[in-house]
Amino acid sequence: MPGNAEPFNKLRQIMATLRSPDGCAWDRKQTHKSLLPYLIEETYEVVEAIESEDYDHLREELGDLMCQIVFHSQLAEEAGEFTIDDSIDSINEKLINRHPHVFGEQKNLKPQEVLDQWEKIKVESGEKSSVISGIPRSAPALVKAFRFGEKAGGVGFDWTSAADVLDKIKEEIDEIESELKSNGPARLESEIGDLLFAVSSFARKLEINPEQALNKTLDKFADRFRYIEEKVRQSGKSFDDFTLDQLEAWWQEAKNIS
């Protein structure tokens, strides 16, 4: 097996020292809950490094994320709950159990077949009481929509094709239009939620991650809107001094630049 455990063990030793009576007051004060903002922040920074394809940055951010994992493990070890080795043993066992086509009878499965197999193994082993359990409630709604569809699809509850989902999207839009005409605002929230879920499923069937797609669109929007803001500043006027058509013209300029 490749790899050198020495850097990892050194990190564990550093963390144990920081948490010791002669260590750092800030580190000694931390709890699992107080560290949550840093864990979330480091995770998002890893995501950002991957999306920007900045691999020097990714190397650094993975180290920062590993630090948070070791920090939580150190707290658990001090409390006599578990050690980082227990966590590693747990994931080792999961990886072997969830890849019977590799570590058991050799089978050449396609990526989607592997995902479907995982969901069945989790339920059949009793690890999960429901196919769609295990998704954090605190996760972004679009991420949850994607994963709910993915997990349900893993046991066969899914649209056959992207075209089928597109028909569902059109149906949901019709329902929203109907609610608008009937002045039924109480149901609009539900119908809009149905539409967003259907769009997420459409992206999934096309093997597009909707969260990443939306983030890229938001980045484009931010760049183009800042272009408009700069034009307004250069004019010495305010937004109120321009018509929507004038602002739209700058928006189109920004689109041609980006």
Q: Give yes or no for residue 123 having a pLDDT over 80.
A: no
> What does the angle CA 175 – CA 180 – CA 186 come to, to the nearest 5 degrees?
85
Please tell me whether residues 175 and 217 are part of one structural domain. no
pLDDT confidence of residue 139: 86
For the chain, what is the domain count?
3
Residue at which a domain ends, from 68, 97, 126: 97
pLDDT confidence of residue 3: 59
Rounded to the nearest 10 degrees, what angle do helices 55-78 and 84-97 cross at? Answer: 120
Please tell me whether residues 10 and 93 are part of one structural domain. yes
Please tell me whether residues 92 and 51 are part of one structural domain. yes
pLDDT confidence of residue 136: 84
Question: Model-level pTM?
Answer: 0.65
Q: Containing domain of residue 222, as a range? A: 212-257
Please tell me whether residues 15 and 91 are part of one structural domain. yes
The tokens for 21 are 């009576």
CATH of the domain at 179: 1.10.287.1080
What does 127-139 look like in DSSP terms, one character per residue? Answer: S-SSTTTTS-TTS
**Do residues 70 and 15 touch, judged by C-beta distance below 8 A?**
yes
Please tell me whether residues 140 and 87 are part of one structural domain. no
Q: Is residue 56 part of a domain?
A: yes
pLDDT confidence of residue 122: 77
**Do residues 152 and 201 touch, judged by C-beta distance below 8 A?**
no
Q: Is residue 126 part of a domain?
A: no
Percent of the chain past pLDDT 70, that is, above it, reads 97
Which residue carries 């669109």 as its tokens?
217
pLDDT confidence of residue 1: 46
pLDDT in tens, 162-215: 999 999 999 999 999 988 887 666 788 899 999 999 999 999 999 999 998 998
Please tell me whether residues 200 and 246 are part of one structural domain. no
Cα→Cα distances 221→30, 161, 235, Å: 38, 30, 21
Please tell me whether residues 164 and 201 are part of one structural domain. yes
Q: Is residue 40 part of a domain?
A: yes
